[in-house]
Amino acid sequence: MQVPSHVEYERAVSVEHALALLGRPDHRVLAGGHSLIPMMKLRLAQPGVLVDINGLAELAFIKEQGGQLRIGALARHADLLDSAPAGQHFPIFHDAERVVADPIVRLWGTVGGSLCQADPSEDLSAVFAAVRATAVIRGQDGDRTVPVREFHLGPYETVVRPGELLAEIRVPVSPGTGSAYEKVARRVGDWSVAAAGAVLQLDRGTVSQAGIGLTAVGAEHFVAAEAEDFLRGRPATEENFKAAAAIAAEHCHPVPDQRGPEDYKRHLVAELTTRALRRAAGRAAWAGAPA
């Protein structure tokens, strides 16, 4: 029998209330709980007090506003999967959400929780890095924004400080953009062996901007920066996608474990990055890139 560690419980009735509670020592946010509670069972996390934010409806939104897709931290995975504006502008979100955990877990796990968990194998970190999203972190003195590419300090560590709360993630909507996510896992609901997300902005068949996110393979900030640099300014061709994917596979740092040896994971990175770029390019063309 797995029993969570001893803990006290507070229910936040407003964001301000949550922030006040989170400023106290050893208080920790409880959202969907689908990562935190299992970690408490294993004593990998032993917070003193849980601050339940599930009642904060003002953090549970997904909307398009002012040229941005705005996703509240408390939006559930299922909400993102069901969101029409998210799917329209960033098919990568729907690709990824179809393979995050399973349909029941997706009803409870939150988008913000995924980012804050900072698990190296978590899918949305690479996705938000690929789309160059911005995290809005709320504190008692107001909001500060941090690029998602600077949000994670390392495994299970983020820039969110005590007394702060991830409130929202913003993604700039750009015309002529296509995106996709490709994952290999051993079974439904499992973590990635490896996964790759790609975002391409095309201008007359040339890559004007590229975003490549990698999951579970030790990529710094979940990004394949060298591969992005290679693609920028080059024609969106299969040959260039394969060359960029090879660069991504070379520069990441996969660790051999029960999900596979290092060479297999590098092979997956190359193949999945190629596939994601190919699909992203197809979608960018379909989205009406300037011909």
Partner 1 sequence: MTIRVAVTVNGREYARDVEPRLLLIHFLRDELGLTGSHWGCDTSNCGSCVVWLDQRPVKACTVLAAMADGRCVRTVEDLERDGRLDPVQQGFIECHGLQCGFCTPGMMMTARWLLDRNPDPAEAEIREVLSGLLCRCTGYENIVRSVRWAAEHAAGHAEEAAQ
Q: Give the count of residues interacting with partner 1 (CB under 8 A).
A: 29
Residue 189 in the binding site for partner 1 (CB under 8 A): yes
Among 61, 108, 156, 264, binds partner 1 (CB under 8 A): 108
Q: What are the residues whose beta carbons fall under 8 Å from the beta carbon of 271, sequence distance 6 or more?
A: 245
**Are 49 and 7 contacting, i.e. CB atoms less than 8 angstroms apart?**
yes
**Are 212 and 248 contacting, i.e. CB atoms less than 8 angstroms apart?**
yes
Residue 4 in the binding site for partner 1 (CB under 8 A): yes
Among 13, 24, 26, 38, binds partner 1 (CB under 8 A): 38
Residue (54 or 206) nearer to partner 1, CB: 54
Among 25, 84, 141, 188, binds partner 1 (CB under 8 A): 188
Among 15, 37, 225, 285, binds partner 1 (CB under 8 A): 37
Among 21, 29, 50, 244, binds partner 1 (CB under 8 A): 50
Residue (104 or 255) nearer to partner 1, CB: 104
Rounded to 5 degrees, what angle do the CA atoms 266, 272, 278 make? 140
Instruction: Tell me which residue of 98, 99, 103, 128 sits closest to 113, measured CA to CA.
Output: 128
φ and ψ at 261, to 5 degrees? -80, 170
**Order of strands, sheet of 206-215, starting from the edge strand that comes earlier in the sequence:** 177-185, 192-203, 206-215
Binding stretches for partner 1 (CB under 8 A): 1-9, 11, 30, 33-34, 37-38, 40-41, 50, 52, 54, 101-105, 107-108, 188-189
